A and B are shown apart, each in its own frame.
Chain A
Amino acid sequence: GAVVSQHPSWVICKSGTSVKIECRSLDFQATTMFWYRQFPKQSLMLMATSNEGSKATYEQGVEKDKFLINHASLTLSTLTVTSAHPEDSSFYICSAGRKHTPLHFGNGTRLTVT
């Protein structure tokens, strides 16, 4: 089946620094990628929709200047958490897909900001 790889699987950073998370579709070309975050014992919250070659569409309440999304190719999207703070500590998950097909999810990145 389709594979989505997310890297790193976990990261610890200091407050005020930036962290980049990569999401790759390994065996298919993804026209759309979605970024989610999940706090403990809660459901996934959609942050933004990323289409290859165009600007990401952010959900209401998500700061686009804080969560920078780049979708430079059909197999790679990146999420950069800028000036991270402890409240940004969360489980970040990406998903990838093509039109009219099921989405495939990465295994997530656990971010801890100290």
Chain B
Amino acid sequence: DAKTTQPNSMESNEEEPVHLPCNHSTISGTDYIHWYRQLPSQGPEYVIHGLTSNVNNRMASLAIAEDRKSSTLILHRATLRDAAVYYCILRDMGGSEKLVFGKGTKLTVNP
């Protein structure tokens, strides 16, 4: 399974943008970059995913480097409800499509 590297933790202030980085230097051609987040005592929640182009949805934006070896999840205005562990995962859409979670980034949002 292709691996990703994320900072263990990050901090942000409420209503400010947050950029969560992810490195995935061994990404293969059929790997999609997925982001999920998990609030305490809950199951993970889908945030966004992409292949090559930048993606936007109501929750966040995903910026993907041209060589696809890194990506950044952007929360445009952090709220206290965005405090969670964010997981960047490579998902092989040409194979089993399973999600293998790494350690993720714990995001703290300060009021």
Contact = CB atoms under 8 A, between A and B. Distances in A.
Contacts of B104: 43
Nearest to B35: A102
B103 interface: yes
B62 to A, nearest CB: 13
Contacts of B102: 43
A93 B43 contact: yes
B97 interface: yes
B34 interface: yes
Q: Is the interface of A mostly helix, strand, loop or mixed?
A: strand
Contact of B98 (A34, A102, A110): A34
Interface residues of B, number: 21
Contacts of A43: 87, 101-104
Contacts of A49: 96, 98
A91 B101 CA distance: 15
B93 interface: yes
Given A43-B102, A43-B103, A102-B49, A6 B97 contact: no
A105 B44 contact: yes
A26 to B, nearest CB: 14
A91 B44 CA distance: 12
B44 A44 contact: yes
A105 B45 contact: yes
The residue among B34, B43, B87, B96 with the most chain A CB atoms within 10 A of its own CB is B43
A25 interface: no
A36 B89 CA distance: 15
A108 B97 contact: no
29 contacts: A4-B43, A32-B97, A34-B98, A34-B99, A43-B87, A43-B101, A43-B102, A43-B103, A44-B38, A44-B101, A46-B99, A46-B100, A57-B96, A93-B43, A94-B43, A95-B44, A97-B97, A99-B97, A100-B93, A100-B97, A102-B34, A103-B99, A104-B46, A105-B44, A105-B45, A106-B43, A107-B42, A107-B43, A110-B41
